[in-house]
């Protein structure tokens, strides 16, 4: 116990609002704080419990990955009664793809909560998805399946999972977004600028505004890709209104 308290204290010292930020993401108060500390501890911290077992988020990823698979499986089973086993497997793998999990983790800024001895800029892109999985694992172990399911619905299914999109019926998010803006009499603007940053490859950044308000940003190696990415993000934000178009 005193060990856990020490970690808690080190957290509190170094990052006073860890649990505040966390509560904001979770939408509930965590019961077992040590689980969430584990979910945001990188292996470079080299932490161990009394028995010498490593304390970091990697084992929690395994649990979170399994819970995501189950919840999405049951959701797709109910939602797509015509889909056979192969279809359901394919659809699930789209929802829990590495790329998608990374987006989910990035949108929640989970990387801000990590304790690590490695500079955060040195992490690869997969850190975002890994942290998201670990967080889901911690929620399951802390609060049980029902709670974990609710979190996945709130953070993955409601905002991001649309069967029509997954089926590839949406070819271009940009054209979908323009169509929607025209129909709803909204103005829109893609502000694109070259942005090399520290990368060797030339990058483009884009700010998409609807009715003069910035609704999404994105960065990619071509103008077209950056615009598509920003449109996709805006699509998710306005999903309910926009899916009526499809």
* Smallest separation, CB 101 to a copy of itself (Å): 15
Note whether 230 binds a copy of itself by CB under 8 A.
no
Asked if 242 contacts 235 with a C-beta cutoff of 8 angstroms, the reply is: yes
Residue closer to a copy of itself (CB basis): 72 or 234: 72
**Residues in 113-142 that interact with a copy of itself by CB under 8 A:** 137, 140-141
Note whether 81 binds a copy of itself by CB under 8 A.
yes
Residue closer to a copy of itself (CB basis): 52 or 119: 52
**Residues in 145-184 that interact with a copy of itself by CB under 8 A:** 145-146, 149
Note whether 73 binds a copy of itself by CB under 8 A.
yes
Note whether 214 binds a copy of itself by CB under 8 A.
no
Distance of CA 162 to the CA centre of its chain: 16
**Residues in 31-60 that interact with a copy of itself by CB under 8 A:** 49, 51-54, 58-60
Catalytic-residue membership of 189: no
User: By rule CB under 8 A, what count of residues binds a copy of itself?
Assistant: 32
Active-site entry in 103, 133, 162, 228: 133
Residue closer to a copy of itself (CB basis): 59 or 224: 59
Note whether 89 binds a copy of itself by CB under 8 A.
yes
* Smallest separation, CB 53 to a copy of itself (Å): 5
Task: Kindly report the three-state secondary structure assignment for every residue of the chain.
Answer: CHHHHHHHHHHHHHCCCHHHHHHHHHCCCCCCHHHHHHHCECHHHCEECCCCCEECCHHHHHHHHHHHHHHHHHHHHHHCCCCCHHHHHHHHHHHCCHHHHHHHHHHCCHHHHCECCCCHHHCCCHHHHHHHHHHHHHHHHHHCHHHHHHHHHHHHHHHHCCHHHHCCCCCCHHHHHHHHHHHHCCCEEEEEEECCCCCCCCCEEEEEEECCEEEEEEEECCHHHHHHHHHHHHHHHCHHHHHCCC
Give catalytic residues, as residue numbers.
65, 133
Applying CB under 8 A, the residues found at the interface with a copy of itself are: 49, 51-54, 58-63, 65-67, 69-70, 73-74, 77, 81-85, 88-89, 137, 140-141, 145-146, 149
Q: Which residues are annotated as a binding site?
A: 61, 130, 133
């Amino acid at each position: 116990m005193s060990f856990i308290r020490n970690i808690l204290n080190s957290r509190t010292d170094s990052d006073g609002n860890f649990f505040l930020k966390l509560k904001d993401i979770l939408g509930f108060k965590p019961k077992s704080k040590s689980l969430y500390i584990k979910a945001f501890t990188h292996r470079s911290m080299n932490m161990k419990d009394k028995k010498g077992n490593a304390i970091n988020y990697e084992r929690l990823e395994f649990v979170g990955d399994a819970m995501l698979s189950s919840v999405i499986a049951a959701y797709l089973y109910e939602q797509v009664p015509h889909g056979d086993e192969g279809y359901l497997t394919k659809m699930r793998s789209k929802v829990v793809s590495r790329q998608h999990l990374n987006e989910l983790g990035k949108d929640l800024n989970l990387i801000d909560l990590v304790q690590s001895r490695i500079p955060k800029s040195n992490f690869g892109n997969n850190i975002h998805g890994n942290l998201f999985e670990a967080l889901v694992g911690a929620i399951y172990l802390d609060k049980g399946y029902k709670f974990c399911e609710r979190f996945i619905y709130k953070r993955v299914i409601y905002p991001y999972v649309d069967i029509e999109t997954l089926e590839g019926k949406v070819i271009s998010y940009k054209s979908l977004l323009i169509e929607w803006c025209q129909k709803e009499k909204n103005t829109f603007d893609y502000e694109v600028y070259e942005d090399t940053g520290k990368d060797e490859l030339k990058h483009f950044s884009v700010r998409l505004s609807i009715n003069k308000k910035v609704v999404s940003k994105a960065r990619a190696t071509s103008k077209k890709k950056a615009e598509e990415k920003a449109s996709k993000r805006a699509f998710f934000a306005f999903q309910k209104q926009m899916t009526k178009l499809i």
